[in-house]
Chain A
Amino acid sequence: MRQTIPTFIFLFFFVIAVATSGVSAANTASSATEEQKASVVISDCQVNPTALMCNDIGTVTVTIKNMEIYKSVNIKEVQMLSQGLKVLSDSYFNPGSLGSGGDLRLTFTIKATCPDGIYYPKVMVNGEGAQSIRYSFPVTVDSSSLTIGVKDVPEDIFRGERAKIELVVGNPRPNNVTAVKIVTEDKDVMPAEVFIGTLSADNSEVAAFYFTPQAKGDCVLNFKLQFKNGDNHHFTDLSVPLNVTESKKSAELILTGIEVEFIPGMNVYKITGDINNAGLEAANSVVMKVGDAEGIEAMQPYKAYFVGLLNADDFSSFELNVKVGENETQVPLLIEYKDEDGILFSEHEYISIESSPGTASTGELPVPMIAVVIVIAILVIGMIAYSWKKR
C-alpha cells in the first residue's frame, strides 16, 4: 500500500506535467503560424453604375488593404469570377506589393449579359505570405428604362396656331441616370431638343415643346428620349398622335367680285376684286401678290397690293397688274397675312383669265370702233368722189 500511493501520486503529477507540456507545445505552434500568414482584406468595392441594364457594361473597383502594421504583403494574383455576369477584363498578376497599412485599387470591367436579378461575383486575392481572400459582392441588373409620356396637350390643335405640349420623363430605376434629353426631328416643333441632365432615382422632370402645325389633318409627333446609364447610351421613343384642324376663330380670307380686265396693247391684265375676312380674328399685314409661275409676271404700278389690317367681317378692295403669257389661262395669287403672334400665313388662289367676267377681247378693235372708221371712210371717199363728180 505504502508503495502504491507514491506511485499513484507520481503518475498523477506525470500526467499533469505531460498535459501541461502538450498545451504549451500547442500554443507555441499556433504562434508560429500567425507570424507567417499576413492579414489582407477587401476594404471597399464599388460598382458603376450601381444598377446595370441588360447588355450594359460597367466597372467594379475593389480596394485591397494590408491590415498588417509591420509587414508588407506581395500580391500575387487578383481575379474576378462570376457565373451570371461576363467579366471582360483580365485578372491582375503581380499587381504589386502592399506596404503595411497600404491599399490597392483594382478595376474590373463587367457586362450584364444576363436577365434581371442580383448577382454575386467573387474577387479572389492571392498574396505571398498572406491569406487568400474570396470576396463576394452584389451586382444588380435592372433593365427597366426611363419612362416618357404626355403630361399636357391642348384638346384642340389648330393649323398655324402654336400649341404647348408638355412631356414628363420619369426614372423608375434604382440608380441615377445622366445626360437625359428629349429630341425631335419634326420641323414644326420648337425647340428641337430639351436637355434635362441628371435624373435621380424615382424622380421626374417636365419638358415643354411648342408645336405650330402648317397643315391640317392627322399627324404624329415623334420624340426620342435619350439617356446614359453609366457609359451606356439608351433611348426610348414616344409617338404622340394629334389631329390638327382649322381654327374656328382664325382669320379666313376669301376673294369675291373678281374682275379681270385686259389692257389693250399692253398685254397686261388688271385684276380687281374684294378680299374679305370671314373669320373671327383679325388678319394683320395682309399683302396680295402675284404668285410665281412660268409666263406670269407682275407689273407696275400694282405688282403687289398692301391691304394691311383686315378685321373680322371686314373687307378691302385690291388691284393687281399682271402680264400673262399667250398660253396661260390662270393667274396664281398669293395672299400673305400674320396672326396676332406674328406667325406668317399664306394662301394661294387661282384666277381664271378666260372665264372671268369683264375680260376684254385680246387686242382686237371693238366692233363700234370699226363701224366708226368705216363710216368715216365712206364719208371721206364719198366727199372726194362727190367733189370729182361736181368739177
Chain B
Amino acid sequence: MLEVLTNPNKFFEARMKGEESLRIPVLIVLISGIISGLSSFLQNSITVKMMSEVPPEAQGIVSIMPTVSAIGLVMFFLIFWVFVAAIFYLISCIFKGEGDFNRTLEFVGYGYIPMIFGGIIGAILMYTIVSTAHIPVVTDPAKMAEALGLLLKSPMMLLSYAISFLFMLWSANIWIFGLKHARNLTTKNAVITITIPVASYYIIMTYVLWTISQMGVM
C-alpha cells in the first residue's frame, strides 16, 4: 500500500492487472473525510463559542452546527471523490482516454491517502488554535464576519491551509499516475488532465480565503 506514496506508477501498473475493487478506496476516502470532519468540528466550535450569547431559541441550532458540519463533510468527501473522478474522466476523454469509470474512481480514491496525513496534521493545528486562541463573544451578527475574518487570517490557520495545499499537491501527483493507467493516457496528457481541475481548485480556494480574510480588515 505504501508503494502508492513512493512509487505510484508501479503501484497502479500492478493494480491494473487485478480486479476492480472500490472497497479500499472507499475506506481511504471515508477515513480522510472523518479526519477532515473532525477538523471541521473543531473549526465550527469556534463559531459556537463566538455565538455563545445568541438568544436561547437560536442556541439549539448553533450547538448542533459542529456535528452537522462534520457529518456533512464526510458525505461531501464521498460525493467530491465521485465528482473529481468524473471531472478527470471527462477531461481525459479529450485525450481519447480508454478505460471504465470504476477504475478511474478506484485510482482517484487511492490518491486520497496523502490527504489522510494532511488531515491529521490539520486537525492537530486546528485543535491548537481552538485551545489557545482568544475567541471573542460576538453578540452582533454583523460583526461575525469580522471576527471570523480575523481568525482565518491567524498565522496558525494560514499554516493549516499551506499544509493542506501541499498534501493536495501530493494527491495530484498520485492522481496523475493513477489516471495514466486507468485511462491509458500518456504521462503528458495525464499531467494536463489533472493540472486543469487541481489548478482551478487552488485558484478558487485562494480567492475564497482571500475574500474571507478581507472581511476582517473591513
- The reply to whether chain A is a binding partner of chain B is yes
Alpha-carbon separation in the docked complex, A383 to B118 (Å): 14
Judge whether A265 and B157 touch: CB under 8 Å.
Answer: yes
Q: Is B153 an interface residue (CB 8 A)?
A: yes
Q: Which residues of A contact B96 (CB under 8 A)?
A: none
Judge whether B133 and A266 touch: CB under 8 Å.
Answer: yes
Alpha-carbon separation in the docked complex, A387 to B133 (Å): 39
Partner of A301, one of B133, B137, B173: B137
Judge whether B7 and A380 touch: CB under 8 Å.
Answer: no
Judge whether A387 and B173 touch: CB under 8 Å.
Answer: yes
Q: Is B204 an interface residue (CB 8 A)?
A: no
Judge whether B166 and A376 touch: CB under 8 Å.
Answer: yes
Alpha-carbon separation in the docked complex, A387 to B121 (Å): 22
Q: Which residues of B contact A263 (CB under 8 A)?
A: 133-134
Q: Which residues of B contact A268 (CB under 8 A)?
A: 134, 136
Shortest Cβ distance from B184 into chain A, in angstroms?
15
Judge whether A369 and B159 touch: CB under 8 Å.
Answer: yes
Alpha-carbon separation in the docked complex, A245 to B155 (Å): 52
Partner of A384, one of B10, B139, B163, B170: B170
Known A267-B150, A369-B156, A387-B9: A380·B136 in contact at CB below 8 Å: no
Shortest Cβ distance from B59 into chain A, in angstroms?
17
Shortest Cβ distance from A266 into chain B, in angstroms?
5
Judge whether B10 and A390 touch: CB under 8 Å.
Answer: yes
Judge whether B150 and A390 touch: CB under 8 Å.
Answer: no
Known A265-B157, A390-B6: A377·B166 in contact at CB below 8 Å: yes
Shortest Cβ distance from A109 into chain B, in angstroms?
76
Judge whether A365 and B177 touch: CB under 8 Å.
Answer: no
User: Considering the complex, which residues of chain A in the window 331-365 have a beta carbon less than 8 Å from any beta carbon of chain B?
Assistant: 363-365
Contact string against A for B residues 1-36, beta-carbon threshold 8 Å, 1 for contact and 0 otherwise: 000011111100000000000000000000000000
Q: Is A111 an interface residue (CB 8 A)?
A: no
Main SS class of interface, B: helix
- In the complex formed, the residue of B with least CB distance to A369 is B159
Q: Is A391 an interface residue (CB 8 A)?
A: yes
Bin the interface of chain B by size. Answer: 35 or more
Q: Is B154 an interface residue (CB 8 A)?
A: yes
Main SS class of interface, A: mixed
Q: Is A217 an interface residue (CB 8 A)?
A: no
Contact string against A for B residues 146-177, beta-carbon threshold 8 Å, 1 for contact and 0 otherwise: 01001111111111001100110110011001
Alpha-carbon separation in the docked complex, A300 to B138 (Å): 8
- In the complex formed, the residue of A with least CB distance to B134 is A263
Q: Is A386 an interface residue (CB 8 A)?
A: yes
Judge whether B136 and A391 touch: CB under 8 Å.
Answer: no
Shortest Cβ distance from B1 into chain A, in angstroms?
14
- In the complex formed, the residue of B with least CB distance to A299 is B136
Alpha-carbon separation in the docked complex, A363 to B153 (Å): 9
Contact string against B for A residues 301-312, beta-carbon threshold 8 Å, 1 for contact and 0 otherwise: 100000000000
Q: Which residues of B contact A265 (CB under 8 A)?
A: 133, 150-157
Chain A residues within 8 Å of chain B by Cβ, number: 28
Q: Is A257 an interface residue (CB 8 A)?
A: no
Judge whether B6 and A383 touch: CB under 8 Å.
Answer: yes
Partner of A373, one of B7, B152, B159, B174: B159
Most buried by B among A263, A369, A380: A380
Known A265-B151, A266-B151, A270-B134: A383·B156 in contact at CB below 8 Å: no
Shortest Cβ distance from A233 into chain B, in angstroms?
61
Judge whether A387 and B137 touch: CB under 8 Å.
Answer: no
Q: Which residues of B contact A300 (CB under 8 A)?
A: 136-139
User: Considering the complex, which residues of chain B in the window 105-139 have a beta carbon less than 8 Å from any beta carbon of chain A?
Assistant: 114, 121, 133-134, 136-139
Judge whether A373 and B154 touch: CB under 8 Å.
Answer: no
Judge whether A376 and B155 touch: CB under 8 Å.
Answer: no
Judge whether B155 and A264 touch: CB under 8 Å.
Answer: yes
Alpha-carbon separation in the docked complex, A268 to B150 (Å): 10
Alpha-carbon separation in the docked complex, A265 to B150 (Å): 5
User: Considering the complex, which residues of chain A in the window 320-334 have a beta carbon less than 8 Å from any beta carbon of chain B?
Assistant: 321
Task: Identify the B interface with A (CB < 8 A).
Answer: 5-10, 114, 121, 133-134, 136-139, 147, 150-159, 162-163, 166-167, 169-170, 173-174, 177, 187
Task: Identify the A interface with B (CB < 8 A).
Answer: 263-268, 270, 299-301, 321, 363-366, 369, 372-373, 376-377, 380, 383-384, 386-388, 390-391
Sample of 11 A–B contacts (CB below 8 Å): A263-B133, A264-B155, A265-B155, A265-B157, A266-B151, A268-B136, A377-B166, A380-B167, A384-B170, A387-B7, A390-B7
Closest 9 A/B residue pairs (Cβ): A265-B154, A263-B134, A391-B9, A390-B7, A365-B155, A300-B137, A384-B173, A380-B170, A380-B166
Q: A266-B147, A391-B187 are in contact. List 7 more A-B contacts (CB 8 A).
A: A264-B133, A264-B155, A364-B155, A366-B155, A380-B114, A383-B5, A387-B7
